[in-house]
C-alpha cells in the first residue's frame, strides 16, 4: 500500500491509551514525509468514558478532519465498538481486543474474509485473563473482515499491562503498511523520551510490544489477503 490515504479509527475506554497510540502513529507518518492528521474525540472523563481517535495517513492532502468511513476500525471495548459502527462499510476491517471482547457470531452480514480466532505467534498463546469478556455488539453494517487479537492478555502475561495499547499500535501499523516499523519505533521513543530517561527499561519493553503487534498483523493477514490488497 503505497498511495492514497488510509482512514483509521480507534476506540476504547479512557485510560486504555487510545490517544497515545493514534498520536504516535500519526507522528511516525509525518516524520516519513506523508500527509497525516490525528483528531481525538472523548468525553470529559479521563477514565471511564469512551475515547475515540481518528487518524488519516497517506500521500494526498487530508480534506477534512473527520471522515465518513474507516478502512480500519479498532475496538478495545464493546461500548466503543457500538459507537464506531457508523464508520464502517463493506471495505472496512475490524480489529478487536479478544482478551476483552467475545468473538462475534458468524453472520452473513459480515462479508469477505473473516477470522474470529487469534492468529499470532504461538508463544503468545495463553489462557484467557478472565472468563467475563464483554459481549461483541450485534454488527449492523457489512464489513470486509473481522480479526481478534488478545493484546491485553499478551501484555499482561508477557510484558506489562500498560503496553497493551502499544501492541495495538504495532498491529495497526502492520495492517495499514503506511509507515515502517522503524518510523513507529522512532516516534514511540520520542513520545516516551522523558519516561525512558527515568527508567531505561521502558524502551525495550515498549519496543518489544510494538514488534509483537507488527508481527501479529503479518500473521493475521498471511494467506488471507494478497500483498498490496489490504484496504
CATH number, domain with residue 44: 3.40.920.10
Residue 231 lies in a domain: no
Domain carrying residue 84: 5-221
Residue 158 lies in a domain: yes
Residue 189 lies in a domain: yes
Where residue 63 falls (left for φ over 0; alpha for ψ -120 to 50; beta otherwise) is alpha
Residue 201 lies in a domain: yes
Residue 230 lies in a domain: no
Q: How far is CA 21 from CA 53, 141, 181, in A?
A: 9, 26, 14
Residue 228 lies in a domain: no
Taking CA 189 as the corner, what is the angle to CA 28 and CA 187, rounded to the nearest 5 degrees? 5
Domain tally, the chain: 1
Query: What is the helix (H) or strand (E) element at residue 219, kind and residue range?
Result: helix 201-221
User: Distance between CA 21 and CA 59 in Å, rounded?
Assistant: 21
Per-residue pLDDT of the chain (231 residues; tens, 9 = 90+): 335 789 999 999 888 999 999 999 999 999 999 999 999 987 655 556 789 999 999 988 887 878 999 999 999 988 888 889 999 998 899 999 888 777 665 555 444 444 433 333 333 333 344 456 777 767 666 888 888 889 998 898 889 989 999 999 999 999 999 999 999 999 999 999 999 999 999 999 999 999 999 999 988 887 554 333 333
What's the length of the chain? 231
Residue 190 lies in a domain: yes
Residue 52 lies in a domain: yes
Amino acid at each position: 500500500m503505497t498511495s492514497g490515504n488510509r482512514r483509521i479509527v480507534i476506540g476504547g475506554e479512557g485510560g486504555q491509551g487510545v490517544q497515545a497510540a493514534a498520536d504516535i502513529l500519526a507522528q511516525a507518518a509525518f516524520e516519513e514525509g506523508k500527509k497525516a492528521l490525528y483528531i481525538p474525540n472523548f468525553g470529559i472523563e479521563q477514565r471511564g468514558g469512551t475515547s475515540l481517535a481518528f487518524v488519516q495517513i497517506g500521500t494526498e492532502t487530508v480534506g477534512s478532519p473527520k471522515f465518513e468511513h474507516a478502512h480500519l476500525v479498532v475496538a478495545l471495548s464493546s461500548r466503543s465498538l457500538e459507537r464506531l459502527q457508523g464508520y464502517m462499510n463493506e471495505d472496512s476491517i475490524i480489529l478487536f481486543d479478544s482478551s476483552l471482547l467475545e468473538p462475534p457470531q458468524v453472520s452473513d452480514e459480515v462479508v469477505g474474509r473473516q477470522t474470529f480466532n487469534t492468529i499470532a505467534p504461538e508463544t503468545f498463546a495463553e489462557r484467557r485473563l478472565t472468563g467475563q469478556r464483554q459481549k461483541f455488539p450485534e454488527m449492523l453494517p457489512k464489513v470486509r473482515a473481522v480479526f481478534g487479537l488478545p493484546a491485553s492478555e499478551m501484555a499482561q502475561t508477557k510484558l506489562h499491562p500498560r503496553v497493551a495499547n502499544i501492541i495495538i499500535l504495532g498491529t495497526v501499523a502492520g495492517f495499514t503498511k503506511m509507515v515502517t516499523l522503524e518510523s513507529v519505533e522512532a516516534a514511540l521513543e520520542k513520545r516516551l523520551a522523558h519516561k525512558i530517561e527515568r527508567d531505561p527499561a521502558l524502551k525495550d519493553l515498549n519496543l518489544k510490544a510494538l514488534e509483537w503487534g507488527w508481527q501479529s498483523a503479518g500473521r493475521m493477514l498471511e494467506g488471507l489477503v494478497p500483498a498490496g490488497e489490504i484496504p
